Structure 1
């Protein structure tokens, strides 16, 4: 039954990308801008076969949560917000305005648009803010009925969460392409098209944006060096016969290594960088292709 629901959500996704109206909350390019991009050959189209989106979601869940059920509703030490779902979507409590983009409310709006049965206590929240003011309060409530219901809800909607991330990825790619230097835009467009044409490449794009951002904020710089998706695409140097995914993985490793070397905190070089590089090593095509069955990492 779960796989049937997942396949139905993927079918709805394909139909929506083929011509349905976009999410009214989306902040992507306007219709006119998208038409202009299409005329110039810079439009980035995303599509996945049934089963591939499921695989992408599973890989992101593995990266963010080690695929642990209890981690679907989590609050990391030292953070002012809980992280929810397979993508660790951020949900700010009342009065908290952090530097990261809040994404859980948008996910729930998307679920409602898909006519998914959202837990009643979530629907009744007004305003829609995390009900725990701090981590200590959350830990005291983690065995409550409400948290158990939320965790079960997120476990049963992993396909829709992957679909939500998939749709938002298209907007990220458009923003990244528009921000590329004019003399490199053709290269960036070509890399994005090649990466988005395979499940492994699309997984790398979605995961990297979720992991290190688009690379467009001037606040996310060390000595003028950024580390987001745009910086990785600009650092790509595909060799003869090399796939775009292999070139992306190598470029991302160089970009993140440079970030760690320029960081003021030694923890980035000594502890964080090895984990980052291990995550990048998962950016490979699945074998066999995840269509209608399980796939292992190639």
Structure 2
């Protein structure tokens, strides 16, 4: 509609101007044509304006388009956006299923400016975006693993499921020797026993009445001497039987701790390439180990590798080095997925990390042979591991970062 009106208007103006120009001679005719061209441009712009207003597009006469190019300023180069970095895709992780990251390259679903300032909230979100496998063990497998960890930690001795090592300020309880502090202690390590009790309570496991309190009470024995005096008390005997009866449930707690450890490790790893490397290697081990024993046992044995106090100075580089799961996964570089080869690589990486600790803390050499034997058990599924004979409880292998023993 607007285009038809403009066309009629241009025709009318053209005829009027030509009649006037003929009476003024050739010069007047030239000036009239220039004025006509300018009028076409103005009327064409008006047509476009009305077309945009009512949602339609008006066609420009060819002459007006050419005139617009003649009078318009030169075009400006398009503005370039800063280079962007893709974020990993957000993954929803089911509770009880194994979620293994795809082997194909991930496609970014959102972008982030390189110039943007990083902040802890964004780093935490990026960490959660990485896909970490999750798993819940069958009860019979959990029972086998619990027994094996009990053999590793306490030599399979019934009485050693409740212990208090010489030189330490805490009780060590259960299959994983979970630490429990009295109110008088100064905790140098992360306390695990109250977390175990909370986990068992959520799972509806019946608890001894004196433990089934909120908050979880502190260790009732204030020292190793007090613990030994009460070793055969009704309370201690009840605690021992409770821990022997809940091996499978304690193993599930260790599984949850192992999976939660990855959140700690990734949050403690600022470099995105290292985070992806850690997830890739962790996923390889999860695929290769149906029972998760190598991961469960090592995290319980040497931790996640994120505590700055659980490091030692390398005498050659001067850098502090840890010995937890993070350091083991960073030592692994393979890509094959054949289970036997993956578990062999994991076992060897554990041994390298432990030998590195011994070099940095020479007083730990007394434990080296036993540690390396324990790492060898990670090569095979739990069902294939031979039951080792009972042995005397081991001495504590906990050391401060300054190489002084507790």
Equivalence for 2:396: none
Structure whose CA Rg is larger: 2
Judge conservation of contact 1:44–1:173 (CA < 8 Å) in 2. Answer: no
Equivalence for 1:259: 357
Alignment partner for residue 220 of structure 1, among 310, 331, 335?
Answer: 310
CA shift for structure 1 position 175: 2.0
Is the alpha carbon distance of 1:89 and 1:158 closer, same or farther for their aligned partners in structure 2, counting shifts above 3 Å? same
Equivalence for 2:163: 74
Tell me the number of residue pairs that the alignment of Structure 1 and Structure 2 aligns. 262
Equivalence for 2:381: 286
Equivalence for 1:177: 266
Equivalence for 2:372: 277
TM-score by length of structure 2 reads 0.59
Aligned residue runs from structure 1 range 19-98, under 5 A: 40=129, 42-98=131-187
Judge conservation of contact 2:181–2:218 (CA < 8 Å) in 1. Answer: yes
| SS of corresponding position for 2:156 | coil
CA shift for structure 1 position 210: 1.0
Distance 1:216 1:124 in 2: 31
Distance 2:303 2:257 in 1: 12
Higher relative contact order (CA closer than 8 Å, sequence separation 6+):
1
Distance 2:369 2:290 in 1: 21
Judge conservation of contact 2:153–2:176 (CA < 8 Å) in 1. Answer: yes
Distance 2:352 2:124 in 1: 33
Distance 1:200 1:254 in 2: 24
Judge conservation of contact 1:200–1:245 (CA < 8 Å) in 2. Answer: no
| SS of corresponding position for 1:121 | coil
Is the alpha carbon distance of 1:232 and 1:207 closer, same or farther for their aligned partners in structure 2, counting shifts above 3 Å? same
CA shift for structure 1 position 185: 2.6
TM-score by length of structure 1 reads 0.79
CA shift for structure 1 position 200: 6.2
Aligned residue runs from structure 1 range 139-218, under 5 A: 139-180=228-269, 181-199=271-289, 202-218=292-308
CA shift for structure 1 position 16: 5.3
Is the alpha carbon distance of 1:48 and 1:107 closer, same or farther for their aligned partners in structure 2, counting shifts above 3 Å? closer
CA shift for structure 1 position 75: 0.8
CA shift for structure 1 position 96: 1.1
Q: Which runs of 5+ in 1 are unaligned?
A: 1-14, 19-29
Deviations 1:128-162 (CA, angstroms, capped at 9, x unpaired)? 01111100011010011110011011111111111
Aligned residue runs from structure 1 range 238-249, under 5 A: 238=334, 243-249=341-347
Is the alpha carbon distance of 1:237 and 1:215 closer, same or farther for their aligned partners in structure 2, counting shifts above 3 Å? same
Is the alpha carbon distance of 1:125 and 1:149 closer, same or farther for their aligned partners in structure 2, counting shifts above 3 Å? farther
Is the alpha carbon distance of 1:297 and 1:176 closer, same or farther for their aligned partners in structure 2, counting shifts above 3 Å? farther
Judge conservation of contact 2:162–2:171 (CA < 8 Å) in 1. Answer: yes
Q: Which runs of 5+ in 2 are unaligned?
A: 1-93, 98-120, 314-319, 388-406
| SS of corresponding position for 2:322 | coil
Distance 2:274 2:203 in 1: 38
Distance 2:134 2:194 in 1: 26
| SS of corresponding position for 1:196 | helix
Q: CA RMSD in A?
A: 2.8
Equivalence for 1:17: 96
Deviations 1:250-281 (CA, angstroms, capped at 9, x unpaired)? 11111111111111xx4312x11111111111
Equivalence for 2:193: 104
Equivalence for 1:5: none
Distance 2:342 2:289 in 1: 12
Equivalence for 2:57: none
